[in-house]
């Protein structure tokens, strides 16, 4: 039964990825028949990384929401038992700490990707010369 719950949660969390895949196919069809026929897509690596990061953030947001609901449920059903209340508080505290870690990580990754994107658009790099 527990394994079935995890499968359902995973299915719900990964469902948004299917719509991203369909959007990519629609965009690929408009690129040109050569790209579609050969299976090659002209998509920037930064766009692919961005899609992956957004999908992971959606998954983590779903997990955070489930943990908050679970912590609240445990707290409300503790029946005054202080140990159960403490466990629920710990779960809520850890979920919020996890959300903060994810948010900070997202900020750092976004900052790095923007710096890399700006450097590539400026034409900077080892191969550029000023002559």
pLDDT at 94: 93
Q: Are 20 and 87 in contact (CB under 8 A)?
A: no
Question: pLDDT tens string for the chain (131 positions)?
Answer: 666 666 666 666 666 655 555 555 545 555 545 555 555 566 777 677 778 888 888 888 889 999 999 999 999 999 889 999 999 999 999 999 998 988 898 888 888 878 887 887 776 555 444 44
Same domain, 15 and 32: yes
pLDDT at 117: 79
Residue 128, in any domain of the structure: no
Longest dimension (CA), the chain: 77
Give the structural domain span for 55.
Answer: 44-121
Same domain, 36 and 88: no
Same domain, 11 and 73: no
Same domain, 56 and 9: no
Same domain, 37 and 53: no
Same domain, 58 and 103: yes
Q: Helices marked H in the chain — which ranges? A: 2-31, 33-38, 45-76, 82-121
CA dist 102 to 26, 63, 78, Å? 31, 12, 29
pLDDT at 20: 55
**Structural domain tally of the chain?**
2
Q: Is 71 exposed, middle or buried (0-12, 13-18, 19+ CB in 10 A)?
A: buried
Same domain, 115 and 59: yes
Residue 91, in any domain of the structure: yes
Cut 0.85: pTM above it: no
pLDDT at 131: 45
Q: Are 13 and 62 in contact (CB under 8 A)?
A: yes
Question: How is residue 120 written in tokens?
Answer: 């590539």
């Amino acid at each position: 039964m527990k394994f079935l719950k995890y499968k359902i949660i995973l299915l719900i969390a990964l469902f948004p990825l299917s719509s991203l895949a369909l959007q990519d196919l629609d965009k690929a069809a408009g690129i040109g028949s050569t790209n579609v026929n050969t299976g090659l897509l002209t998509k920037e690596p930064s766009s692919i990384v961005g899609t992956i990061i957004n999908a992971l953030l959606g998954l983590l947001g779903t997990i955070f929401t489930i943990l908050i609901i679970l912590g609240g449920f445990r707290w409300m059903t503790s029946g005054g038992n202080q140990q159960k209340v403490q466990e629920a508080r710990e779960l809520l505290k850890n979920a919020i700490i996890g959300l903060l870690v994810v948010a900070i990580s997202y900020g750092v990754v976004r900052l790095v990707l923007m710096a890399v994107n700006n450097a590539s658009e400026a034409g900077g790099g080892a191969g550029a010369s000023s002559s």
